Amino acid sequence: MEWMAFFVSCIFAINIGASGAAATMGVAYGSGAIKKMHVALILCSVGIFLGAVIGGGEVIKTIGSGLIDQQLLTVQIVIIILASATLSLFFANILGIPLSTSEVTVGSVIGVGIAYQSVYFHQLLWIVALWIIVPVIAFIITVTIQKITQYFFVHKMKKFSKIFTILLIITGFFEAFSAGMNNIANAVGPLVGAGMLSEMEGKLLGGLFVALGAMMLGRKVVETNGKRITKFTKIEGLTISATGASLVILASLFGIPIPMTQITTSSILGIGFVQEGKRVFQKEVVQRLIKIWVVSPLVSLIISYSLIQAIVFSNWYSFFMVVIVFITTIVFLNLTNSILKQSKQIKLRRNEQ
């Protein structure tokens, strides 16, 4: 059974790299500081690995033992947690959506905790509160810096273009470093918590496979975060990367699994808000990102809870009930969305007439 836990952990780590890539060098690529995609992915991978090995320990402790009773982490439970998170992240990567690995992992762990009625709610509430607060802080910081920059330095930016390019690549690298510090715990934290790996072994294994995932599968998500949300200059990209790297490194030092992709995307939205105003929030890609951010931890929670009921407790009635309710909810939401779209189209036709 242990080999399966390691296998699922490595697959999850690869998916983490694919998703987290957009939150790091995607900004440098989108602003034109890095022209070639493969260069961006290489720098991203190196930064992730170094961040994992040097500073990934504190968040590993939180994922491994800070949310539920560590004694629950048997090999079987570890496989269920990692498999649930991997499935959620895999579908997001296919869609090219920069999903937060922290959210899906915490959701999977909490699903197990609910099934066993053993959740450290005080720690959970603190983490969820920061998931909301920190991206808002990133948005505010970016908007503030952007307005100050436009007011004081708008006529001098072209003179320092090369300096901005170098600084942007450096801050993008440190953002990748911060991703390594924070995100590798999602893949190896349960293994370390179960005593299957030492902390250093977890950091090495997680760092290697997350970096590999960024290199192999990060292209689509880099494109999404770099060019599909809004256009930004090098100085704007510098603001985004510096804000994201600083906040994530700070959170990692305190062992907090933070949604890095939300922080970076919130910063990008801050740039878009200064440029376009409220219209930036009306873009389809932005609305889709927000919906998935809300749903993702719930999806992984439901998957892990259902698997516990079916595999561990052999309670197939609860398993099928949860699955039926989940599918019914998705169908209902899709129908509601279709009705709203039809209503908008009818109103537009009436206005045209």
At 79-98, the pLDDT tens digits run 999 999 988 777 666 655 55
Q: How many domains does the chain have?
A: 2
Are 141 and 274 within 8 A, CB to CB? no
Sign of CA dihedral 305, 311, 317, 323: positive
Parent domain of 336: 317-353
- What per-residue confidence (pLDDT) applies to 233? 74
Residues 271 and 309 in one domain: yes
- What per-residue confidence (pLDDT) applies to 173? 93
Residues 56 and 81 in one domain: yes
Residues 205 and 349 in one domain: no
pLDDT tens by residue, 281-324: 777 667 666 776 777 788 889 889 999 999 999 999 888 888 88
Name, of 156-160, 175-179, 201-205, 317-321, the range with top average pLDDT: 201-205
- Least Cα distance to 115 among 334, 263, 307 occurs for 307
- What per-residue confidence (pLDDT) applies to 310? 92
- Split at pLDDT 50, 70, 90, the class of 209 is very high
Mean pLDDT of the chain, nearest integer: 85
Residue 227 CA from chain centroid, whole number: 18
Name residues whose C-beta falls within 8 Å of residue 290's C-beta, 6 or more positions apart in sequence.
Answer: none
Residues 299 and 339 in one domain: no
Residue with the larger pLDDT of the pair 169 and 151: 169
Residues 325 and 287 in one domain: no
pLDDT at 78 > cutoff 60? yes
Residues 128 and 150 in one domain: yes
pLDDT at 177 > cutoff 70? yes
- Split at pLDDT 50, 70, 90, the class of 276 is confident
- What per-residue confidence (pLDDT) applies to 295? 76
Residues 83 and 222 in one domain: yes
Residues 117 and 264 in one domain: yes
pLDDT at 225 > cutoff 90? no
pLDDT at 166 > cutoff 60? yes
Residues 253 and 343 in one domain: no
Residues 327 and 300 in one domain: no
- Split at pLDDT 50, 70, 90, the class of 339 is confident
- Split at pLDDT 50, 70, 90, the class of 192 is very high
- What per-residue confidence (pLDDT) applies to 227? 63
- Exposure of 139 in the CB half-sphere (CA atoms within 13 A): 15
- What per-residue confidence (pLDDT) applies to 196? 94
Residues 290 and 321 in one domain: no
Residues 172 and 186 in one domain: yes
% of the chain surpassing 90 pLDDT: 42
pLDDT at 187 > cutoff 80? yes
Q: Where are the alpha helices (DSSP H) in 96-229?
A: 101-115, 121-153, 161-193, 199-217, 219-223
- What per-residue confidence (pLDDT) applies to 157? 61
